[in-house]
Structure 1
Amino acid sequence: MMSTPPVVAVGGVRSNRVRLPWLTAGCWLLTLLYFPVSIAVARAWPSGYSWSGNYISDLGITRCGEYTDRDGMSRAVCSPDHAVQNLMFVLTGLLTVVGALGWAGMWNGRWFRAGCILLAGAGLGIAGIGLAPWNIRTQVHDTIALLQWFLQLVGMILILPEVTRRLRSLAVCTALSVVISVIGGVFLFASSHSGLGAGVSERIAFDTLTVWGGLVGLVLMLSLGSGGRGGRRPETDRSSR
């Protein structure tokens, strides 16, 4: 006796395909919540947070005190809302993971999907930073941060050809983000940060990529809202397999 479950299954697959682009765009866009939350955490510092003199990770340090960086420079740290910041690191990382893997399911291309997997790995790194505050697991924290930065850069480079074929404006922003982030890394690892300041150089290296992720979400969402499919082109899909 014949039954109809296959029809129901097909309908479910179609429904999932419709929801996936919106979920992907939404997750990328929500990563921008990182910025207002970080500003709020910084404003809660009793002695004031220095955007140039303090590191990003100082917002998540769990105990007030004087801390010394690798250059021997001492900085005052007291972040009452450190738990909020660390939770935001974890949330931003998980949103990045879902956004990257969702994007991999939207477009074809071996290198594109490999790049998305690396971006998802970077998202896990962001979450790991929140789970390993700098003052508690210093070496683990620094290693995760360096790996996260590397994975994001390589991931963005790998997806660039496919993004160029589908959404050229986003491709330009992607290439610029890679260049700017690399420049920030040069200042970050230079002696005394070449006078730019630890906080400024670190934000150029890391936060440029967070801004890019939010831009990805915005561009994909605008494409979907205008009746597109997140930049999806059937003829490109066939040729890029």
Structure 2
Amino acid sequence: MSYILMGILTVSMFIAALALKDKCEVTKIIGALSWITLSLYFIVELLVIRASTVPYNFLKQPMSDLGVTICGIDTYELAAYEICSPAHLTMNWTFTLTGIAVFTGAIFLHKFWSDNKKTKTATVLLVIFGVSYSFSGIFPADINFLVHTFASLPGMFVQIPALIIIGWAIRSTMPKLSKWTYFCLMLNLLSLLFIFLQLVFPELPGGLIQRALYASIWLWMVVTGVMLLNKSIKRK
């Protein structure tokens, strides 16, 4: 029932965000706050890790392991080790809400970028990034590994062209934020490179690399959210 509610909430919030995006100025503040709340993710993850009843190695194990709903070995494909995460429901709700925060912020903050086809494309890509992340909570790896995996794949790539477009669009109006965008983009690309290097060097810390991939984007969103929130408040 909880996973059905996650799905309903994700769809409802997506529809609501689309319906409200051009209705009032307060949506800019809501969007900025949505991205700022992403800073809470790793606090929740730390608590879930501490609740694990078997050793969890955040350097090597993927984040998805914390959302696995059963205990044991081979709980899903590629997991030939023991997993037991009693707080899996908390983790899966966190995955879902994180995705909602991402796409809500993307939709509501679009007004800050120059309004053209390219920036609209960037917004769509960030929305896909958010929805992709929500799906990882709605469909835990042990419940539906294929949906969990393939729904999560866009979240590894779509943010790259989105940040390139946004960074270029605001280079003259918000030069500091533009530079910050490209800095976080470089971190993200470096993380993605190391993910591919795992195929050649399996001893690389896959769990840490995966976290770096997402953290580089969340870091961009949190700082961007703070800067745009300050900008919105000053206009008032």
Q: TM-score range by the shorter chain?
A: 0.7 to 0.9
Percent of aligned pairs with the same residue?
Answer: 25
More off after superposition, 16-25 vs 51-60: 16-25
Equivalent in the alignment of 1:158: 165
User: How far apart, in 1, do the equivalents of 2:66 and 2:128 lie?
Assistant: 23
Query: What does residue 78 of structure 1 align with?
Result: 84
* 2:125 maps to 1:118: yes
2:108 corresponds to 1:102: yes
Is 2:38 the partner of 1:31? Answer: yes
1:199 aligns with 207
Cα offset, 1:192, TM superposition: 6.1
2:178 corresponding residue in structure 1: 171
TM-score normalized with structure 2 length: 0.81
1:56-108 deviation digits (Å, cap 9, x = unpaired): 111111111224998x7743311110111111111111111111011123443
Counterpart position of 1:210: 218
Unaligned runs of 5+ in 1: 1-12, 230-241
2:96–2:135 contact (8 Å) kept in structure 1:
yes
Aligned ranges for residues 1-80 of structure 1 at < 5 Å?
16-67=23-74, 74-80=80-86
Which structure has the greater CA radius of gyration?
A: 1
Matched letter for residue 81 of structure 1? A
The count of residues paired between Structure 1 and Structure 2 equals 214
Give the gaps of 5 or more residues in structure 2.
1-19
User: 2:113–2:170: 8 Å Cα contact kept in structure 1?
Assistant: no
Q: CA deviation at 1:218?
A: 1.2
* Amino acid paired to 1:85: M
Q: Which residue of structure 2 aligns with residue 236 of structure 1?
A: none
Alpha-carbon distance between aligned partners in 1 of 2:203 and 2:180, rounded to the nearest angstrom: 27
Q: Which amino acid aligns with 1:86?
A: N
Q: Structure 1: how far apart are the matches of 2:169 and 2:43? A: 32
TM-superposed CA distance for 1:221, in Å, is 1.5
Aligned residue in 2 for 1:219? 227
Q: Is the 8 A contact 2:94 2:137 kept in 1?
A: yes
